[in-house]
Amino acid sequence: MSKKIIYLLSLLMALSLVFASCKKNGGLDPNNGGLTPPPDTGQGQDVVGEDGLFDNYSDIPDGEIANTGVYVTTGGNYYRNPVVVTRPDGKIFVFAEKRWQSQGAGNDVGIDGINTTDIIFKVSTDGGYKFDTQEYTVGTKATGPENSHGAPVVFVNNDKILIAATAGDGIGRTSKTPKASKIDYITGTFGGSASTGYITWGTWTTIEKVKAKSGSSDTTIKALVEKTPAGGSGSKNFEQFGTQPARGLVTTSDIYLPIVIAQQGGTGTDYELMGRITLKSTMDGATWTVVEEPVGYTDDNKLTFGPWKETKLISGTVEGDLLYLTVPNPWSSANPAKFGVSDPGQPPSSKGTMPASEGSPGFFTTKQWYGANEYKITSSGIENAGQAPSTMSVLVHVQQRASQLYLYLVSDPKELTLQGKGWKLDDVGKSSTVDMMADGTIVVAAEKGGEDKNYFIRLLRYSQKYLTETTK
């Protein structure tokens, strides 16, 4: 065989490998950090109702029901921190941060007092098989950092919705020391037409005053935060505060908002010391009351990077039943590399067996978990079909920094006891939330992508049976 033929064959083999790689990875997009979202997939579209809900249990596919793109980071605008909300009529809302021409600040937050960020949402009316191309803004579109909002905590109670969000300078580590942190909230009502995204919004309002837990005179979040020692090297007090994106905890009459408090240092001296404070209110947001005084997460005066980062509430019906889930700090020399769980007034302690890293975990608890057992689907929801339901939690989070996104079934949130094993949803990701549809199927809104690539956000949908079998 001549050298020319050998050369041509070698060239053809090399080109075949390149094309195979592009196909496997969905192609290469230089405007998206070399990462293109996988194609949308789905099962059951031929038997699902017009509202996207399955009318019969036997129609629910055994595999992945939907894997649909919602947001793609393009043109320098980054989409992060999704929060999913399902409605009884089958609509799915996916809220997210839109960071205009910005990746975000140090500590990977969108609100830093420098860049412009909005909370936006998209709607699916067919159960997540596709999302309208229309992108709706929560409240009025930001005109600059002074009226930006990010890290949404979304509370839903019947047809009412309230979003609490980070505003002002947030907790971003930037070239200056942010000290103008704010928490704003906005209320809305579900209904209306597609032109408004099926939600009518009020206006953003800052939480100016809070009622002290002791019943003394009103105070401010800023005053409570700045009087609290952060621990760690330098014996600094906390200076900043913000929210962690999540589905908010709603009880019969109240909503509970955990606020992340932080000491990030200043120019030339980076710190990452965190803690929390908890407020409660009602769905109108008229009055906010302190139910937990500030809690710092380290008493080690040698640390500049504490062992724990952001916290969310994962269960509770009254103050004494609140339970907090905290992610570890991979930058800390004391990194526990597992989740922390704590009761009110207590710092986190390591629980569970699953590895964990920084980010915003998705956590959802239902008392209507049938697992692999059949249930009935009715016009008012799901119900028993011979096997009583149990209580189960679905936890989604990364095992490593921005990578190895896993789903777990948790039978005991207090100890993070797994029901079976974890199941890897994707190689990359960071922030996610979970909800259940009226037909009992589970939906996950999750970031994909990584720290060295642009992010995109997808909606995943599974049956209870499939998740039970997959995590065995």
Specify the DSSP class assigned to residue 117.
E
| Residue 138: CA count within 13 A, CB half-sphere | 35
pLDDT in tens, the chain (472 residues): 454 444 444 444 443 433 333 333 333 333 444 456 778 888 989 889 889 999 999 999 988 999 999 998 888 888 999 999 999 999 999 999 999 988 876 656 788 888 899 999 999 999 999 998 999 999 999 999 999 999 999 999 999 999 999 999 888 776 555 568 999 999 999 998 999 999 999 999 999 999 988 766 789 999 999 999 999 887 789 999 999 999 999 998 899 999 999 998 766 678 899 999 999 999 999 999 999 999 999 988 889 999 999 999 997 666 668 999 999 999 999 999 999 999 999 999 999 999 999 999 999 999 999 999 999 999 889 999 888 999 999 999 999 988 899 999 999 999 999 999 999 998 888 899 999 999 999 999 999 876 556 678 999 999 999 999 999 9
Which pLDDT value is given to residue 35? 59
Query: CA 87 to CA 359: how far, in whole Å?
Result: 26
Which pLDDT value is given to residue 175? 58
Q: Which helix (H) or strand (E) holds 11?
A: helix 3-24
DSSP string, 191-217: -S-GGGTTEEE---EE---BB-TTS-S
Q: How is the chain split into domains, by residue range?
A: 43-470
384's tokens: 């028993």
Per the CB < 8 A criterion, the answer to whether 418 and 395 are in contact is no
C-alpha separations of 345 from 293, 296, 440 in Å: 7, 9, 35
C-alpha separations of 234 from 260, 271, 299, 466 in Å: 20, 10, 12, 51
Per the CB < 8 A criterion, the answer to whether 393 and 365 are in contact is yes
189's tokens: 């009502």
Per the CB < 8 A criterion, the answer to whether 94 and 121 are in contact is yes
Query: CA 395 to CA 432: how far, in whole Å?
Result: 9
Query: Which residue in the block uniquely carries the two structure tokens 């099962």?
Result: 43
Give me the sign of the Cα torsion angle 150, 344, 278, 305.
Answer: negative
Query: CA 404 to CA 358: how far, in whole Å?
Result: 12
Quote the Cα angle for 364-368-369, to 5°: 75
Q: What pairing do the DSSP bridges indicate for beta strands 269-281 and 289-296?
A: antiparallel
Per the CB < 8 A criterion, the answer to whether 155 and 186 are in contact is no
Which residue from 162, 160, 154, 134 is spatially nearest to 83, judged by alpha carbons? 154
What's the predicted TM-score (pTM) here?
0.91
Which pLDDT value is given to residue 75? 83
281's tokens: 């209110």
**Protein fold of 43-470:** Neuraminidase (2.120.10)
Which pLDDT value is given to residue 106? 61
| Residue 273: CA count within 13 A, CB half-sphere | 29
Q: Which residues pair with 305 in a beta bridge?
A: 272
C-alpha separations of 249 from 45, 82, 231, 283, 322 in Å: 32, 16, 28, 11, 9
- Beta-carbon count within 10 A of 28 CB: 13
Query: CA 141 to CA 128: how far, in whole Å?
Result: 26
Query: Which residue in the block uniquely carries the two structure tokens 């929801």?
Result: 381
Query: CA 212 to CA 217: how far, in whole Å?
Result: 7
